[in-house]
Amino acid sequence: MKILLVEDHPGSRRNLQRLIAKRGHDVTAVGSAEEAEAALAAETFPFLILDWMLPGKSGVDLCRELRTRPNGDEMFILLVTAKGDTEDLEQALQAGANDYLTKPLDIGRLNVRISVAERQIRELTERNQARAALIESAQTMTNILEKTTDGFFAVDSEWKLTYINAEAEAMVGQKRDALLGGLLWEKFPALVGSIFQTNYERVMSEQVAIEFEAVDATGKIWYDVHAYPSNGGVSVFFRDISERKKSETERLTTSKLESLGTLAGGIAHDLNNILTVISGNIGLAQIEAPADSGSLLGFLSKAGQAAQHAAHLSSQLLTFSKGGAPLKKVVPMGDLLERSAEFALYGSNLRADFDIAVDLWRVEIDSGQIEQVVNALML
C-alpha cells in the first residue's frame, strides 16, 4: 500500500519511514504541506500520516483541505501531534482525521493504528470494487435492454414505472420521460381489469413468473408477454405477435377449407352416382312413353333438365374440392342465359323475355358458375 508521510523533522521522518516500510508498504516521505500537495498531484495515496506542526500550512489545515477534494473522503488520515489536550484532539477529528497519535510515538500504538488503517482501506477498496462491478453490471444490463427487439418495462412494489427501454417506448408511442415515475395503471388505463393486470398482480403477490399471450383493448394487437418478479416489483418483456397470429388464423382457415373440400369432393362423387341413375331412368322413361303422351314427355324433359342442372351443381362441388379452379368451356352465351333463366323460373307464374343479339360471341366460361349467378339474380 502506498503511504504518504508528512513530517518536518528529518530524523523523525527517516525513522518513521523505515518502521512503516518494514510492514511491506511503499512510503513516500516529505517535509511540508506544500511538498505533500505536490506528491498528491502526481499520484494517489490511500493512507496519509500528517504531523500537526509543519512549516507554513499545518497538518490540520492540510487535512481539512484534502477532505474537500473529489474522493477526499476515501483517504485514511492519521494525524500525529505533540498536543494532548482534549480540545486539540477534537479539533483534529473535526478537521477530518480518521485517527491520531500523540508524541512521543509509541511503536506498538503506531503498529495498531497502521493495522486499523490497513483494514479500513482494504474494506473501502472492496466496497469500491463491488460498487464499480455493480455499476458495470447495471450498465451492461442497460445496454442489453436497449438493444433487445422486445419491449421491456419494470415497476416497483407500488406499481411505479422505474424503467422503460427504447423498444417499449416506440411500441406504446409515448416518451419514457413522461412515463417514468408514474403509476402503471394511470399511464395505461386500458390495462385496468384486463388479463394483463390480473397476471401482473399475480406475479407480484405470488412471486412467480408468468408467460401469456393476450390482445390489447383495441382487439387488433396481440402480445407475447413474459412477466417476472424482481426486487419487490415486476419486470415485463413483451413483443408484438399480431402477424404471427394472423398467419396462424390463415393456416387454420386454409386447413378447414381443405377439409371442407375433401368432404365436398366425396359428396359430389356420391351425387354424380345418384344423378347417373336418375338421368338414365328418365331417358328410359322417355323411350318407353307413348308418342301421344305429350304432357308426360314434357314432364320427363323438365326432369331431365333438372337432373342436368344438379349435375352442374355437382361439378361445382368438384371444382371447390380441387381448390376452386373453374371448369371453363367455350359455349354460346345466349343459350346458356335462356336455359338458366327458364330453370330458375320453373314452377312459378313468372315468364322471362330475352333480347339477345344474334351475333353474340361465344365465351369461355364455367357454365355451372354462370347458372348460379343468373339463379341468384333472378331469385
Cβ count near 27 (within 10 Å)? 21
**Residue-level pLDDT at 151:** 93
Q: How many structural domains are present in the chain?
A: 3
Question: Both 366 and 263 in a single domain?
Answer: yes
Judge residue 68's burial from the number of C-beta atoms within 10 Å of its C-beta, 0-12 exposed, 13-18 middle, 19 or more buried: exposed
Asked if 136 and 16 sit in the same domain, the reply is yes
pLDDT at 324: 56
Q: Residue 29: CB partners within 8 Å, gap ≥ 6?
A: 5, 6, 7, 13, 14, 16, 17
What is the enclosing helix (H) or strand (E) of 98?
none
What is the pLDDT at residue 34? 92
Examine the domain organization and report whether 62 and 156 are in the same domain.
Answer: no
Residues 23 and 69 in one domain: yes
In terms of DSSP H, where are the helices of the chain?
A: 10-21, 33-42, 59-67, 86-94, 107-147, 166-172, 176-179, 184-187, 195-206, 242-288, 294-321, 333-345, 367-378
Residue with cell 407480484: 204
Q: Scanning the structure block, which residue is given the C-alpha cell 314434357?
A: 298
Asked if 225 and 167 sit in the same domain, the reply is yes
Q: Other C-beta atoms within 10 Å of 344: how many?
A: 19
Residue pointed to by grid coordinates 385496468: 192
Beta bridge partners of 26: 2
Q: What gap in Å lies between CA 288 and CA 296, rounded to an integer? A: 11
Closest CA to 77 of 33, 42, 41: 33
Tell me whether strands 99-102 and 329-332 are parallel, antiparallel or unpaired: unpaired
Domain CATH for 84: 3.40.50.2300
Distance, CA of 286 to CA of 300 (rounded, Å): 7
Provide the pLDDT for residue 196.
96
Note whether 222 and 326 are same-domain residues: no
pLDDT for position 52: 87
Q: 7 and 105 share a domain?
A: yes
Among 117, 141, 165, give the residue marking a domain's end. Answer: 141
CATH code for position 232: 3.30.450.20
Cell of 231: 426486487
Nearest-Å Rg of the Cα atoms of the chain is 48
Alpha carbons 346 and 282: distance in angstroms, whole number: 18
Cis bond upstream, residue 104 (ω within 30): yes
Given the DSSP bridges, would you call strands 2-6 and 47-51 parallel, antiparallel or unpaired? parallel
CA distance 105 to 82: 9
Domain range holding 318?
246-378
pLDDT at 271: 76
The cell 323411350 sits on which residue?
287
Which of 192, 219, 240 is at the close of a domain? 240
Domain boundary among 240, 265, 288: 240
pLDDT for position 305: 77
Contact 120, 73 (CB under 8 A): no
The region that residue 347 occupies, defined by phi over 0 for left and psi between -120 and 50 for alpha, beta otherwise, is left
- Residues 335 and 279 placed together within one structural domain of the fold: yes
On whether both 339 and 362 belong to a single domain, the answer is yes
> 269 and 286: one domain?
yes
Clarify whether residues 231 and 252 are in a common domain: no
- Tens-level pLDDT at each residue, the chain (379 residues): 899 999 888 988 898 898 889 888 899 999 999 999 999 999 989 999 988 888 888 888 999 999 988 888 888 998 888 776 777 778 888 888 888 888 887 788 888 888 888 888 888 888 888 888 877 777 877 787 888 889 999 999 999 999 999 999 999 999 999 999 999 999 999 999 999 999 999 999 999 999 999 999 888 899 999 999 998 899 999 999 988 888 887 888 777 777 776 776 677 677 777 878 887 888 788 787 787 776 787 777 778 777 777 777 776 666 666 665 566 889 888 888 888 887 777 667 788 888 888 888 998 987 777 877 887 787 6
pTM of the model: 0.48
Fill in the DSSP letter of residue 226. E
As a whole number of angstroms, the distance between CA 344 and CA 328 comes to 22
Q: Are residues 227 and 265 in the same domain?
A: no
